[in-house]
A = this chain, B = another copy of it.
Amino acid sequence: MSKIAVLGTGMVGDTIGSKLIELGHQVMVGSRTKNNEKVEAFVAKHDGKASGGTFAEACAFGEIIFNCTSGAGSIEALKSASEQNLNGKILIDIANPLDFSKGMPPSLSVLNTTSLGEEIQKAFPDLKVVKALNTMWCGLMVNPALINGGDHSTFVSGNDTAAKDSVKTILKSFGWADKNILDLGDITTARGTEMYLPLWLRIWGATQNGAFNIKIVS
């Protein structure tokens, strides 16, 4: 079992953090402010099995860090955590750089010849960034069996093979079958999974059901 930091107190952070606690990990939830109401509610809900702190405190605590902040605030959040709390650690980047300023559904603020995953990796060269799980509703991230008997696809992107292996192990503990985890390659391949979001948003819009995923068939 690991010490894991979960950055972000929204629905994604709550879902990931709760699953990690269920699996027996030690979890510290990080937010901008120390006495954040959502963090306190999360800690209370988990009956003392979780703790809360600033982004810096959570990153100092965690051996592995989940980035569940909104994409627009991710780099700022990590900067406030300070580099010595990040270096050498694995960051699982679930965030998407959604831009709500140009109408709905949102567009992307970072894309095409770069990606949020790459921008985080560039800003923190000694952090082992692995983009993962950003292509679906958070309920499926930690419980793929909710649909199609768990048989659908998820992706990992990152420069460090050992870090990707560790992330795959976590994904398997969430219920993902090995055959459904596709390693796309280095962190530049995060462009692919982040740019899928506009299609995800339109499928959701057309079907009015967020509990879907794609399965690669060949």
Contacts and interface: CB of A to CB of B under 8 A. Distances in A.
Nearest to A102: B113
A92 to B, nearest CB: 18
Interface in A164-205: 182-185, 189, 191-193, 195-203, 205
A202 B214 CA distance: 15
Contacts of A203: 182, 184, 192, 216
Interface centre among A108, A152, A189, A198 (most CB of B within 10 A): A198
Contacts of A193: 199, 202
A147 B218 contact: yes
Nearest to A183: B206
A46 to B, nearest CB: 30
Interface residues of A, number: 42
Given A199-B192, A199-B196, A218 B214 contact: no
Nearest to A188: B202
A216 B205 contact: no
B212 A184 contact: no
Nearest to A206: B184
A151 B216 CA distance: 11
Contact of A195 (B199, B209, B216): B199
B218 A148 contact: yes
B148 A217 contact: yes
18 contacts: A111-B111, A111-B112, A111-B195, A112-B198, A147-B218, A148-B217, A182-B203, A182-B206, A184-B202, A184-B205, A185-B205, A191-B202, A192-B200, A193-B199, A195-B198, A195-B199, A212-B218, A214-B214
